[in-house]
Every structure is written in structure tokens, then in C-alpha cells.
Amino acid sequence: MKSEEISRRLAELEQKVTLMFKSIDCTKVVGDVLMECPETILSKVTSSGLSGRGGAGFPTGIKWKGAAEAEGGMKYVICNADEGEPGTFKDRQILHVQPDKVISGMIICAHAIGAREGYIYLRGEYNFLLKKLISRCEYWNDYLKKKGFDFTLFVRSGSGAYVCGEETALIESMEGKRGEPRNKPPLPVTSGYKGCPTVINNVETLAYTVMIMSEGPEYFRSIGTKDSMGGKVFSISGDSPRKGVYELPLGMTLHEFVDIFGDGDTKAVQVGGSSGTCVPRKHFADTIIGFEGVPTGGSMIIFNSSRSMYHVLRNYLEFFQEESCGQCTPCRVGCQQLLKGLEAIKTGKRPHSYLDKLRSLAITMSVSSKCSLGQSLVNPFNSITGHFREEVCY
Amino acid sequence: MKTVSLRINDIPVTINEGATILDAAKKLGIRIPTLCHHDDLCVSGNCRVCVVEQKGAKVLRASCVVPAAEGMQIYTNNQKVREARRAILELLLSEHKSECTSCLKSGLCELQALAQEYLSDGNAYINIADQTPPDISSPAIIKDDSKCIRCLRCVRTCKELQGVSALWSINKGNRTKVATFMETPLHYVVCATCGQCVNRCPTGALTERTYIEDVWRAIDDPEKYVVVQTAPSVRVGLGETLGIEPGEVVTGKMVAALKRLGFDSVLDTDFTADLTIMEEGTELLTRLASVLKEKKEVPIPMVTSCSPGWIKFIEHEFPSLLRNLSTCKSPQQMFGAIVKTYYAQKKGIDPSKIISVSIMPCTAKKFEADRPEMKSSGFKDVDYVLTTRELGHMIRQAGINFERLDEEGYDSLMGESTGAAVIFGATGGVMEAALRTAYEIVTGREVPFKNLNVEPVRGMDGIKAASVKLEGVKTEWAFLEGVELKVAIVHGLINARKVMEQVEGGGSPYHFIEIMACPGGCIGGGGQPIPTNLEIRKKRTEAIYRADEALPTRKSHENPEIQELYKDFLGKPLGHRSHELLHTHYIKREIEFHAKGQTNKIR
């Protein structure tokens, strides 16, 4: 494809969804929303079809409704800005460019569920954003005070553990404890921060709620597909001439995606970061980016033919063996065994058949780990070793 | 209470709301394997061995944490579950150094048992066991990270039962491990050496430091005269290490076995428990006289000093209250000091040839015996301390059929004891024994409780309070007339901390406080048989009180050998010789840790 053609297609795609980076008057939106009753907000969010943009895709309306209905004198809204998935950097961009939308989303949520405090849990490595966020929070705190709305915003800085992006580990971390996921149930919507009902949403999810309020849920629903409504902000990296952050509709095929973002020599795309699925070229045409196909928190890493999938996988496993919180057996030991085993196969210390044992270990990890970290490792491991067995073994 | 109904392996069961799937299975008599779960501790759900399948759920559920819910259909033993469990066990084996043949916990190791049950392959995965050598800094406890499976029972034990938190999990991912503050050797941190972690560690990662071989060598040495003393609670625990149900008193068989092992003389720590009462009771009355009669500034409440774990704890955590501690040595150390002086004299044995061994329910006693102050006889007062478990081990090694042994009695001189001494083994026992004697000294009458059983000081509550009104006292104790003697009984260091904070704040209403480091007192000690739980501890306690009632003499001051000891050797309680041999002092402990090449001290 010629570059003009690519630019035209990209422009077309971007035209379809222009929510996130569109400038709007957040003060006005928030002012209007605070006049509405919580039920109206909840029904708007629910009918928009918005689902969690961190990757898990839990319906936002249901989450908010759960917290709204939960009993508790104190309720909290937490913005999960602990963006740690390798290959993901869209929240950083959103917070950088649209902090007011994120904060407004928190205020909308607070009004909907009856929360009196909100926290932005900012990834430790993003501390360059700290000053800006604190000053924006101060601005909004003043604004809310004048409005007579009892909600205060705070910023908390993470300390660098990947697992703290997992919502219950994030809560533990906020409470000053080791960042380890909790046993579920109870879910945070009934018992979260300090044991109180808590909504934890991704940066992008919160920002989208503002757009839903300003543009209407019907508009949001009209973008994307039946199963994956709305737009999505993608972080595109790897062997791409167009690396960066893009807002695109959900539901396109990987084929369409690679045509625009690939370098013409794309071998595979890692959808959803290191804990996502690796899709090889032969499946590009029939793979939809969205909850009906490969879900993603926004990370798209493109590999061309010069990349060794063995090294890609080993790199992921090295990351996970360090970033597992270490409390549950399948994840703590499993991650190490997948890495050690992979290396042993490559160096001939274990037979190729050992790979099958590791693949079944990955499945065991997916059903027996405590949280989604250990549960999702099967995605990269079994997709890469399944599609690129030769590269991994020889 | 609301209930929920569910089906486990297609069998219907109804259980109270809030119960876990594991509880529901237990109710049906279905055993789901567990490792990180322990009856005494909060749930953690981290080993994942207890996973079960819930129909309709994408992932397996950890049965120890997931509440049973209405309509659930649970499968505890289908192929998916069994495969996951075996894989998890094999993963645990891969991070565990399997030294089963030489491991002190072999046979008690829960990982070993489960791995066997599931016929797990120890070499299924690449071994990644920690390579750091064991921490042997403590004379009581050895911590071997190469055997640790990160179930965190030790961490929870130390935090929840003891409030000490000497152990904590550090790092994350592949570097996750259980460690002390700054990975300082165990001996130098605030570790009470109580050994509760050892009791609950499912593997050999935490064990007592064993002196079995040293004791065998001493026994085999014809030059040495080896005496052994047995603590009160050992007689109600030992049976469990030899296949007998909890709650049986095995005193006679234990004595017989010790004689068969080759000890030259089998004596009883209970003897010095009675002695402790004489000294400590007198000390209490003396302190009360100073405060009430002479209006002097003497630290009250007086706190017991029998539990060496408690002593190390207070030395670290409440150094300002060391003066509240009774200066009495523990019965073990009184015994050691008397055996190498009075006993040696009486028997005409060169004390330098005596090897003094004690059988204790305790790991901290190993630490205590090693304290530099404990040499008042001119020698190391107690040479080797063995736990109840180690004695069980020696009896097995010697090929003794314990159950078939005929009961035998203790050897004479320092073998005689009373019911008051036996109950030292249970929480409240020291207090009860002290009250039986002190009340009688002051009033000339028996303690006013039916059958001498001072019920208010008994039981498993962490902190118990009681009071006894002193009326109709003898003339020399006139200052005590009408005084309501207030006492507290505390077990578990987490409770000790609460009570001592009250003392520190000046708001403690008590005259006398008994503190035992371990839950349930010595019957729940860190050297006692594995497993332990509340039910087992209650059975051991009941056995202790049965042993008390079975004895003809139940008051320490009526022990004829004690009377003889005072007459022939010590003079009177708190006398000069007592002071030299039976009393001690305490030290303020600093924590040393090493960081960036420097040695730092806290406090």
C-alpha cells in the first residue's frame, strides 16, 4: 500500500472516533452531571456499553451500580493509573493531555455511587506527571467545594510493582501493605479500600465516561461493534513506522490494523501487551480486535520477520518471573519454570517434548492462580509456543 | 443464622453462611488437601493446593477462601482438579530442597505427605530451591530457606498469634522469601525463639536446632553422669510423637523410656517448679510488703519469668519494665543450678562430670540454657535442651516400643513433685500454684476454691483476670488484710504486648501477672508435637489437670524434697544461696543489623 493510501485509511479510522482527545469544557459537563440524579448517570453509563479499558473489559455500568448499591458510610473512587503492561503507554498520554477528563470521570463516578474521596494511583515511573495531577486535583477540589459537592481528590504514587495494577493489589498498596492481590470474593465494589465499597477504573474508562455524558450514550454505542462498543486508545509499538498513541474504533480485524501500522513485513502482533495473545500473520484476517476476538488493554506490539519469537517470549517470562507478586504457587513458581524450561529446551538440556509439559503447566496456571497475572500467562506462552514452536525449540 | 445449601461431589450439604467450601467439605467428611491453611491462622489462599472445580466457573476455586454459596456445585476430585493439584505440588517440590531422609521434619512434613498422596514427581520441573545456607545463628531455631514453600504460615503465626513479626515475606516474584528485618540472622532480631513457627511450618524450613547426637554422645561416654529433667507439659505431649492420641498422660512410660535410653538419673523439672513457687511466691509477698507496708517504690505488678520466649521478648520490646519481672530463674535453670551443686554434693558426684539434659516443650529453652548468666553452679547449668519431639525421635531411634513399656517412677532426690508443679504446663498453672501456696502462707488456710481448683485462672482466653480477697490473715501479714489480690494470666505474646502496654502506661490494676509466650502455655509450646490446634491444646490441658488431681500432694510448699532442700542446703526462700543459684537478672537487648557494610544498632 502506498503511504498516501495508508494515511487516508488511518484518517478515516480516526474520524470514526474522536472522543478522547477532543477538547471539551469539562467544568460544564461536570456542572451539568452534578445536577442529575445518580440513577440517570448509572443508566447512561450502562446503556453506553462502556467496558473496562484496562483490558479485562468488565462492564463499567455494572461495576458502578454494584458500588452504588453497596452499603457503607464511606465509598471511594480510585483511578488506576498504574499503567505497567509492557507495550502500553496510552494512559500516560491521556493523563498528560487530558487530566481534566480523567478527574471529571472520577467526579461523575463519585456522584453516581456516593463516594466522598477519590484517589489517582499513579505509576511510580510516571512521577513526572505528579505535579501536574496534584495541581489539577487542587483545582477541582476548589471547584467542588464551591459547588458544595463533598468529594476530595488525592494523588498516590505507586512504587514500581507491576502487580499493583491488579485492583486488589493496588488497594493493598494504597493501604501501605505489600502489593499482593486479595482473595476474591469480596470484590472491591463491596469491600475495597479500607474495607469500603470502592470503584477502581482505568484512566481511559474514566475519561470516556465524561465523553458519554457530553456526547450521549447513543453516540458512544454507535462506534465499534455489538460486543465491543466505543472507541479505544491504542499504544502501538514495535516494528511499525507509525508507533504512538491512537484512538481507533474497536472491532477492526488485525489485517486492517497491520495494513496501516505494520511495516509490510509483519510476522506477528502481540495484542494486549505481554500478558496478551500473540497472533501470527496467518490469522490476521480472521482476528477481530475486541472482546469478540482478541481483547486488549490497548497494547499492540508489532513484530517483523527479523524478530526471534524465542527472545520475545523469554523477555516476557523474565518480566513475569520478577513481577509476579510471589504469593501463590502457580504464578510464583510457574513463571520461573516456564522461563527455565524454555531456556533448557533451547539449549538442549530438556527434550522438545518438555515444551508440552510447559504448555500444560501454563494451562494449570491459568485455572489455579490467584489473580489475573498468573491466569493470563497462558496467553503469550501458549500462543507463541503454539504458532512458533520451531523458533522456540531450535 | 442463615444457611446455604450446595452440592459437593453431588452430595447435598447445608452449612452456615460465611463458611468456606473447605468447611462444607469437612462437614461431609471429604478431606480437601491444604498446605497454607492452618486452623490457628487467618486464611491466605496462596498455596492453591486446595483448588476445587465449581461448575460454571472458568477457573478453579481455592476452597479455603471461597465462601460456600447457595446452589454451588463443587467437585473436589475430578481429573481437572487432580491434575492441577499434582502440578502445584510438583511446582512446590521444585522450589523445595528434598532432603527427606535427613530432615528433622520427615514424617511430619505436610508437603512430603501430599506429594506422596498424589504420587508427584519431585523432578518434574527444574529444581529452583533457594541456595543460601541455613540460618544457624539462633541456638533454638534453624531457618532453612531451601526448604521453604512460601506458604507464610510462619509469617502469620508470628504476626497473628505472637504480634512479633520477626518473619515477613520480602521481595517479589522469583525472589520472594520469608526473611527477618534486613535479612539479619534470626538470633539478632526481635525473635522470641518461641518456635510457634516451627510448629506450624509444613516443611523442614523451620526446625528446632537439634542436640540429639550430642546427648547420645554424652550417654555413651562412661566418664559422664547424665541427668535428665522433664518439663511438666512433656508428659501430656510426648505420646503424640509416638502414635498416641492427644490428651494422654504418659509420665510413667516416659520415665521408663528415659531410663532405657541410658540416662543415669531421670529427674523431674516439676521439682523445681515447686521450688519456683516457693521463691516466686515469697518474692511476690516481699514486694507487696514493700509497697503496702513500707510504702516503698517497688515495681508492681510482678510478672512471671518462667517462659524464656517471653523473657527475650520483653528484653527487646519493654526494657523499661524488666524490673517488673520476677528475678526467679525458670524451673529448668533452677534445676540445672541445683543439680550441679546440691544434687552433686548429696550424691557425691563431681559436678564437672555431670551432663545436665532437659526435655522441654519449648525451643526458647535452648536459647535460655545458652544465656551467659546461666552458669551459677560454676558450670553450664543445663548442657543440652531437647524438645518433646526430639525425645520422641530418640525413643524411636532406640527401638523402644513405647506403648508396651511398664510405668516407672522418677529417681530420688529431685524427682518428687506436686500437682501444683504439673499445672505449670498450662496457661494459668503458675498462677494457680502460686495462689495455692501464697494464700496458705498468708492466711494459714487452703485457697478458697473447691478441691483446690482455682477455676477463674484456667481456660483458653488470651488474657484472663481474677482476684482473691485476703481475709483473716495471719498477724505477720496484717498489712494484707482485706486486700483484693488482683492477678492476670496471659498467653501468646500478642496478648502479652497488650498487657505490658497497660503496665507501661501506668494503668495496670494487677499485683501479679503470669505470662507464657505460647498459646495455651507450655502445652502449646514450640517444641511440642506437630500438629497443633486449639482442640489438641485443650486435650493436653485437660490431661495436665487430670495429672494434678491424681497426685497426693497438690501444693508446692508441701513437697517433702523441697522442704529437705531448704533445710539442708538453701536455708530459706530468697536467702543468700537462693539468690546466688535461683535468681537472675535481665538485659536490655539491642537489635543489630548489617546494612551497607556497617553494623547498625536499634535502641
Positions of chain B with pLDDT lower than 70, given as ranges: 591-603
Which among B43, B51, B172 has CB closest to A325? B172
B269 C-beta neighbours (distance < 10 Å), count: 31
CA dihedral sign, ordered B282, B285, B289, B290: positive
A84 and A117 both lie in a single domain: yes
Are the C-beta atoms of residues A236 and A244 closer than 8 Å to each other? yes
Contacts 24+ apart (CB under 8 A), B66-69: B66/A183, B66/A185, B66/B20, B66/B21, B67/A185, B67/B17, B67/B18, B67/B19, B67/B20, B67/B21, B68/B4, B68/B6, B68/B15, B68/B19, B68/B20, B68/B21, B68/B23, B68/B24, B69/B4, B69/B6
CATH number of residue A56's parent domain: 3.40.50.11540
Query: Which residue, A267, A282, A304, sits at the end of a domain?
Result: A304
Domain stop point among A222, A247, A263: A222
Whether residue A334 sits in one domain with residue A291: no
The pLDDT value given to residue B593: 58
If asked whether residues A261 and A351 sit together in one domain, one would say no
DSSP type of residue B159: I
Question: Which pLDDT does position A22 carry in this prediction?
Answer: 87
Instruction: Name the packing angle between helices A3-16 and A254-261 (round to 10°).
Output: 130
**Cβ atoms of residues B270 and B420 within 8 Å:** no
In a domain, A1, yes or no: no
Question: What CATH number belongs to B91-208?
Answer: 3.30.70.20
Beta strands in B35-143 (DSSP E): 51-54, 61-62, 73-75, 141-143
Tell me the average pLDDT of chain A.
95
Q: Is residue A41 part of a domain?
A: yes
- Whose CA is closest to B370, among B307, B279, B308? B308
Q: Which CATH number is correct for B210-603, 3.20.20.20, 3.40.50.800, 3.90.79.10, 3.40.50.1780?
A: 3.40.50.1780
Measured in whole angstroms, how far is the alpha carbon of residue A354 from the centre of its chain? 33
Q: Given the C-alpha cell 445449601, which residue does it identify?
A: B5
- Is A250 found in the same domain as A132? no
Q: Read off the pLDDT band of A13 (50, 70, 90).
A: confident
Q: Smallest CA–CA separation between B83 and chain A, in Å?
A: 8
Q: Do residues B539 and B248 touch, judged by C-beta distance below 8 A?
A: no
Structure confidence at residue B599 (pLDDT): 59
- Predicted confidence at residue B592, as pLDDT, reads 63
Instruction: For residue B89, give the chain A residue with the closest CA.
Output: A329
Q: CA angle at residue B445 from B440 to B450, to 5 degrees?
A: 100
Q: Nearest 10 degrees: CA dihedral of B306, B309, B310, B315?
A: 110
In this structure, is residue A6 part of a structural domain? no
Nearest residue of A to residue B124 by CA position? A357
Q: Would the pLDDT of A180 be above 70? A: yes
- With CB atoms and an 8 Å threshold, state whether B176 touches A341: no
Domain ranges (residues) in chain B? 3-77, 91-208, 210-603
Are B171 and A370 a contacting pair at CB < 8 A?
no
Q: What is the pLDDT of residue B597?
A: 55
- Find the length of chain B: 603
Q: Are residues A369 and A250 in the same domain?
A: no
Domain range for A351: 309-393
A23 touches chain B (CB under 8 A): no
- Which of A261, A279, A304 is the endpoint of a domain? A304
What is the C-alpha to C-alpha distance for residues A216 and A156, in angstroms, rounded to an integer?
31
Residue A8 lies in a domain: no
- Cell numbers found for residue B262: 541410658
Closest Cβ opposite residue B91 in set A161, A323, A330: A330
Do strands A231-238 and A299-304 pair parallel, antiparallel, or not at all (unpaired)? parallel
Interchain pair B47, A320: CB under 8 A: no
User: pLDDT-based confidence at A14, cuts 50/70/90?
Assistant: confident
What is the Cα Rg of chain A in Å? 21
d(CA B273, CA B537): 21
Residues A294 and A368 in one domain: no
When pLDDT is averaged across residues A292-307 and rounded to a whole number, the result is: 93
pLDDT tier for residue A54 given thresholds of 50, 70 and 90 = confident
Query: Which residues of chain B lie closer than 8 angstroms to A163, CB-CB?
Result: 172
- CA dist B168 and B156 (Å) reads 8
Q: Which residues on chain B are in Cβ contact (under 8 Å) with A320?
A: 173
**Chain B contact residues (CB < 8 Å to A):** 43-49, 51, 58-60, 62, 65-67, 80, 83-84, 87-88, 91-92, 94-95, 124-126, 128, 149-150, 152, 169, 171-176
Alpha helices, DSSP H, located in chain A: 3-16, 26-35, 38-48, 60-69, 90-97, 99-113, 130-147, 167-174, 203-215, 217-222, 254-261, 309-323, 329-346, 354-368, 372-376, 378-387, 389-393
- Residues of B known to be catalytic: 280, 283, 306, 326, 365, 368, 373, 522
C-alpha grid cell, residue B490: 496471659
Which residue of A187, A328, A331 to mutate against B (max B Cβ within 10 Å)?
Answer: A328
> Which pLDDT score, from 0 to 100, does residue A3 have?
85
| B417 Rama class: left (phi>0) / alpha (psi -120 to 50) / beta | beta
Answer whether residue A13 is part of any domain: no
Report the C-alpha gap between B218 and B433 in whole angstroms: 35
* A-to-B residue pairs, Cβ atoms closer than 8 angstroms: 118
Comparing CB atoms, the residue among A183, A330, A332 nearest residue B176 is A332
Q: How many Cβ atoms from other residues are within 10 Å of residue B224's Cβ?
A: 16
Per CATH, the number for B3-77 is 3.10.20.740
Residues A108 and A124 in one domain: yes
Residues A183 and A249 in one domain: no
Query: What is the predicted pLDDT for the residue at B595?
Result: 54
Beta carbons within 8 Å of B478's beta carbon, 6+ residues apart: none
A196 and A72 in a common domain: yes
Which has the closest alpha carbon to B373: B384, B364, B361, B382?
B382
Cβ contacts of B63 on chain A, cutoff 8 Å: none
pLDDT at B601: 61
**Grid cell 530463674 — which residue?**
B329
Nine cell digits for residue B23: 468447611
Longest Cα pair distance anywhere in chain A, in angstroms?
70
CA B233 to chain CA centroid, Å, is 9
For A144, the grid coordinates are 467542588
Beta carbons of B59 and A329 less than 8 Å apart: no
Return the CA Rg of chain B.
25
Q: Are A160 and A275 in the same domain?
A: no
Question: Smallest Cα–Cα separation from A318: which of B174, B169, B177, B146?
Answer: B174
Residues A215 and A254 in one domain: no
How many domains, chain A? 3
Shortest alpha-carbon distance between residue B133 and chain A (Å): 20
- Residues 293-352 of chain A with CB under 8 A from chain B are 320-330, 332-337, 340-341, 344, 350
A140 and A189 part of one domain: yes
Q: Dump pLDDT digits (tens) for B349-368.
A: 999 999 999 999 999 999 99
Q: Does the residue A12 lie in any domain?
A: no
What is the amino acid identity at position B264? D
Which residue in chain B is spatially nearest to A367 when comparing CA positions? B59
CA distance B2 to B70: 11
Q: What is the pLDDT of residue B42?
A: 96
Distance (Å, whole) CA B49 – CA B32: 9
